[in-house]
Amino acid sequence: MRNRLFIFILVFFCIANTMCTVNKNESVLVERLDSLLDSNYASDAPGCAIIISKGDSILYEGARGIADVRTAKPIDSNTVFNIASITKQFTVIGILKLQEMGLLDIENTVAQYFPEFKGDIWNKVKIKHLMSHCSGVPDKRPRVDKDFMLYIVDAQCLDYMKDLDELKFEPGTNYDYINPTFQVLAEIIKRVSGKSFEEFQEEYLFKPAGMANVRYFSPDSVIPSMAHGYVNASADEKSSVDSDSNKEKGELVAEYTDSKGRMWVEYDYGEETFFGTKADGGIYTSVKDFMCWEKALTNNLIISAALKNQAYTPHIQVTGSNFSTYQNRPNTSYGYGWFIDNTPGRELKIYHTGDNGGFQAYAAKYPESDVHVVMFENMNDIDRWSFQSKIEEILINENIIKATK
């Protein structure tokens, strides 16, 4: 009896000691991430929301700054941001859902769905090429009329394709990051499903994922808890390979000055182009809601594990592309709707970035450790790639993700 009591006490103290160690580690993690946010964001300026999970546990949830300079409402985990190009993975999953339902095959050519496209090129371009930015289709949307570009919608992005009869390269041979081909995917979803693009995505993606605060932007919609995007009018023009936009800002009139003297101007729909298109960059959601999406994908609630793994598999090399600078980094490939970072000495990282107007977004997953990092910003005054690298270093140092394979 005495031996049993001794063993019980020993086990109790071992468990208690383990719990204390975990709590201590989590506390250090929170302190380090809080410090990182405090050193980069101000409470009275546009800012960010970040959420990090491991398995079913939220390791960190933080926010800094204000969502709207007119109301000074603070950003929190439920603040809704435009996630720009991260939207593309939802369009891809919509296509893969239709394949799972037996309604299409991503090996099919675009010509099979668009009889109005006259060029022979569409007999070469397959659905899978559109999903992986290796179609060779050029972006020839007219950019002369600024007002047209400010308010263009998805259907108008397809107009130039009807008579297109040239490719930049043979499909499947090179990487060229392009937005309007995702409007082609959205139209395929509409034509194959018999539903509107938005209806299909809501029924088969958003609802099963439990996403309560997600929607595609439209000018007449009211989006609760919405952040506006802002740019620093007093800063030099930002130029980085971390942006999918080479657009130059026009003359900016300062709308708000923060305590550091930085002058901010709203820069989203009506001020910057391509906010009106849905399939390539139109989703607004929160970091908390996006984490529901990540968990639904992890648990194969939207599509099968086999199809999901196809999306997470490299299909074209990004590194060294002569056609696009976007995320053209070492050890980088593109799957279907995601970038894949296979840096030696680091865990495999599957991620995407998004940029439009004053919004920046980043969402990454480390499948081996089951860790997810989601960061949305309503200002573009910070080098996002350097910032996420600092987060990654903290996660490695705190043994959340592995440094080596």
- Residues 22-73 have pLDDT tens digits of 345 679 999 999 999 999 999 999 999 999 999 999 999 999 999 999 999 9
pLDDT in tens, 336-384: 999 999 999 999 999 999 999 999 999 999 999 999 999 999 998 899 9
Q: Angle 88-100/181-193 helices, nearest 10 degrees?
A: 30
Model confidence pLDDT, tens digit, residues 143-166: 888 888 999 999 999 999 999 999
Residue 332: both structure tokens together: 């980088």
What confidence score (pLDDT) does residue 235 get? 73
Element (H, E) at 231: strand 230-232
Phi, psi of 61 (to 5 degrees): -140, 115
* pLDDT for 12: 41
Q: Which two tokens stand for residue 151?
A: 């308010």
Which tens digits make up the pLDDT trace of 263-319?
999 999 999 999 999 999 999 999 999 999 999 999 999 999 999 999 999 999 999
For the chain, the average pLDDT equals 91
Entry pTM: 0.91
pLDDT of residue 94 exceeding 50, the answer is yes
Residue 238 pLDDT: 52
Among 229, 224, 222, residue whose Cα is nearest residue 268: 229
Query: How far is CA 22 from each of CA 13, 37, 62, 117, rounded to the nearest angstrom?
Result: 14, 23, 20, 59
Going along the chain from its start, the domains and CATH numbers come out as: 23-397 (3.40.710.10)
Write the burial class of residue 16 (CB in 10 Å: 0-12 exposed, 13-18 middle, 19+ buried).
exposed
DSSP designation for 202? I
Q: Please state, in angstroms and rounded to a whole number, the distance separating the CA atoms of residues 362 and 386.
A: 12
Q: At what angle do helices 384-397 and 2-38 cross, to 10 degrees?
A: 160
